[in-house]
Amino acid sequence: MKKYLLISLCLVYSFILVAKDSATNGRLDTIPEKGVVLDNKWRYSTEDNPAFAKPNFDDSTWDTLNPLNPASDLFPLQKASYGWLRFHFSISEKLSQQTWLLVLRQTCASEVYLDGKLLVRNGTLGNQPKDVVPLGANLPPIALHVKDTSKHVLAVRFGLPPNPIFPNGTFVGPFLHAKIMGVPQYYEQTRTMVQNSSIYASLIAIFFLLSLMHLSFYRHNPAQKANLYFAAYSLTMMVGFFLVELLSFVQDIRWFVYADAGAYVFTLSGGVWIVCALSFLFKYINLNLIRFLWVVQFGLILTVLLSKWHIYPFLAAIVLPTVVQLWLTAKALKAKKRGAAIIAAGFGVSLVFVFLIILLAVVQILLTQQLWVTLFLFVIFLSPALGISIYLAREFALDSQLLKVKLIQVERLSSQNLAQQKEKQQILAHQNDELERQVAERTAQLHQSLQELKATQAQLIQSEKMASLGELSAGIAHEIQNPLNFVNNFSEVNVELLEEMEAVLQKGDTEDALALASDMKVNLRKINEHGKRADSIVKGMLLHSQTTSRQKEKIYINTLIEEYLRLSYQSFKTKDKTFQIDLTTQFYPDLPEIDTIPQYLGKVLLNLFNNAFYSVSEKKKTLKESYSPAVWVNTFKTQNGIQIRVKDNGVGIPQRVLDKIYQPFFTTKPSGQGTGLGLSLSYDIIKKGLGGELNVTSEEGEFAEFTIELPLMKVRQVEPVLVPTHE
């Protein structure tokens, strides 16, 4: 920013004044308000002779020089480590009435003589150039007691330090700047300096505080890097201004020069820190641009310090970061970034004052008033900094507010959450209670259902029995009607035969009577046979419907099988009269009698036969003519018992239901056609009731074969098989 120009204006103010101050011609008739600088007419010698201090010494052979030039220009090879300057002057009558002050600024050590009398010694001259300590800044004024209008001689013995103080002589300043001024002017100048100084001091303090504030912002929110860069800017500026402040105290010219150079370095690098801060603050981060800017800036600063034409790079070092800063701000304004206006306002105020200063400088009003310049400077400096600072502080505050709001939200949410949790827990507890209650209720219901189920099951088993009885009834009716038919008819025939026999006997024909008797005997045997047949059928039927525990008895298995096969087949035929089954029975002859309960075994056989017939009939329905149904019933003698096999070439049992077929109520028949109890009862009868085994092998669509194994040995008294024990 152009404010730096003005710092520099302060720094090089004296040079400007030098240019403005009236020159002398060795005679001071009037001394201007600001005093007079003794710029030429100085004669010099590079020899060192104490006699040169004397007023009557003839220096007419000496060359002249202008000591306002830098020492490095005047004595390029530093040959003159010690030398002398002489200045002849006289003042007018009017001026000789006043008290005059000689104010020196120099880049050497010196002894000043007025008319051969030592006035002051500045710095240390020593005997060797290396001992020279140049004191040349902020020197106290020297009173000049010149009370006449005659010629006077100001002689200066100087000592130069062996090495140049700074590579660039122009930057170091004049070799000897001697100014004669009145006491009021000096007072005025001193007052201005003190005021400037206090303004700089306050700038130092302000920037120090700003840097502290933004460092603490950064510490609390490291995510906002802008605070860090702004703190760096503030610290840099603080150091810069501190160095500027030093310039009004330091006497050793070497320190003065370094402080001056430092002030340039620091104040000029501040602009780049601002660019960093703005980049991060507006989130237009372009690290390459920033690196480039640093490099260029340091190049420019070095040029300022090391070249003779330092005003141009100096201006460039001010303008370049300023342009980037303004560009960033404009971009942010255009994008309507939050708070960009605050920063823009800071820059705006600063720029207004810069233009004012330039305007006033042009019309030469202000530059005569150092204090005003400094005050303007103060504003120019602080307003962008304050703009950025306010912005950042506002961001911080907004973040804090946001955090507060968020915190409140979080608190609210967590309390809501807590409430919800509580509610959930309550609901859960309530649900648990409800669940417990329901479980208890359901358990009771289930228990009841189980009881009902057991009752139903018993009923079902009973009705299954009745159903199988019903299935048999047709067969049984037929079976009974047949022997009954014979009993009735043969007995009727016998009555007729008896009548005939009586008639024959009355005739006395014994032969005929005997023939009739033998016929009757045959008939009676038949009557008896068929009566027994009916009896056994009825017995079997009764047995079948009985549910009481039964004793085992020795029975002929083959006979039992035949009887039941016949019953089953007859029953089956009544349902479908056109149905043809190829029945093959192969019974092991002389099968040993076994202890078993015939009606139980009969029930099992009946089930197996019915299933076989059903299976082949189902297959016939789908395959029609191409299929001839067949059922095989075989008995075998095994090592420790007997085996009954019932095989059919029907639909078979699918693999997936093979392990289910013994489950109660499992049926593959259409609903209403099978109870699903037949095989389960059969299994229980064989396993539990008769101590045997019931096995099945099948191939779906091909065949099914059930095998009953019954043991020969005496088995325990069996329990009645009423309820399937699969539960």
Which residues here bind another protein, judged by CB under 8 A? 474, 477-482, 484-490, 492-493, 497, 519, 522-523, 526, 530, 569-570, 573-574, 577-578, 580, 583
CB of 572 to another protein, least distance (A): 11
Q: With respect to another protein, which residue has the nearer C-beta, 486 or 564? A: 486
- Burial classification of residue 152, based on how many CB atoms lie within 10 Å of its CB (0-12 exposed, 13-18 middle, 19 or more buried): middle
Q: Give the integer Cα–Cα distance in Å for 302 and 295.
A: 11
DSSP reduced 3-state for 304: helix
Q: With respect to another protein, which residue has the nearer C-beta, 238 or 527? A: 527
CB of 493 to another protein, least distance (A): 5
Q: With respect to another protein, which residue has the nearer C-beta, 144 or 520? A: 520
Q: Give the integer Cα–Cα distance in Å for 334 and 293.
A: 23
Q: Which of 446, 486, 529, 361 is nearest to 10 (CA)?
A: 361
Q: Give the integer Cα–Cα distance in Å for 653 and 703.
A: 8
CB 263 within 8 A of CB 143: no
CB of 573 to another protein, least distance (A): 6
Question: Quick count: other Cβ atoms within 10 Å of Cβ 485?
Answer: 11
Strands 27-28 and 82-91, sheet pairing: parallel
CB of 473 to another protein, least distance (A): 10
CB of 475 to another protein, least distance (A): 9
Q: With respect to another protein, which residue has the nearer C-beta, 443 or 580? A: 580
Q: With respect to another protein, which residue has the nearer C-beta, 307 or 482? A: 482
Q: Where are the alpha helices (DSSP H) in 153-224?
A: 169-172, 183-220
CB of 576 to another protein, least distance (A): 9
Residue 135 phi, psi (nearest 5): -100, 125
**What do you get for the CA distance between the two ends of the chain, in Å?**
99
CB of 497 to another protein, least distance (A): 7
Q: With respect to another protein, which residue has the nearer C-beta, 391 or 486? A: 486
Q: Which of 630, 633, 612, 631 is nearest to 708 (CA)?
A: 633
Q: Give the integer Cα–Cα distance in Å for 196 and 10.
A: 10
Q: With respect to another protein, which residue has the nearer C-beta, 181 or 516? A: 516
CB of 541 to another protein, least distance (A): 15
Taken as a whole, the chain contains a residue count of: 727
Residue 709 forms beta bridges with which residues?
Answer: 643, 693
CB of 522 to another protein, least distance (A): 7
Q: With respect to another protein, which residue has the nearer C-beta, 433 or 492? A: 492
CB 145 within 8 A of CB 173: no
Q: With respect to another protein, which residue has the nearer C-beta, 377 or 616? A: 616
Structure tokens belonging to residue 524:
């009676």
CB of 496 to another protein, least distance (A): 8
Q: With respect to another protein, which residue has the nearer C-beta, 22 or 489? A: 489
CB of 471 to another protein, least distance (A): 14
Q: Give the integer Cα–Cα distance in Å for 568 and 628.
A: 19
DSSP codes joined into one string, 566-620? HHHHHHHHHH-TT---EEEEE--TTPPPEEE-HHHHHHHHHHHHHHHHHHHHHHH
Q: With respect to another protein, which residue has the nearer C-beta, 470 or 720? A: 470
Half-sphere exposure for 246 (CA within 13 Å, toward CB): 19
Q: Where are the alpha helices (DSSP H) in 307-339?
A: 311-334
Measured CA angle at 233 (ends 228, 238), to 5 deg: 125
CB of 638 to another protein, least distance (A): 30
Q: With respect to another protein, which residue has the nearer C-beta, 474 or 722? A: 474
CB 563 within 8 A of CB 540: yes
CB of 698 to another protein, least distance (A): 27
Q: Does an H or E element contain 60, and which?
A: none
Q: With respect to another protein, which residue has the nearer C-beta, 229 or 490? A: 490
CB-based contacts of 385, cutoff 8 Å, min separation 6: 207, 210, 233, 234, 237, 346
CB 257 within 8 A of CB 163: no
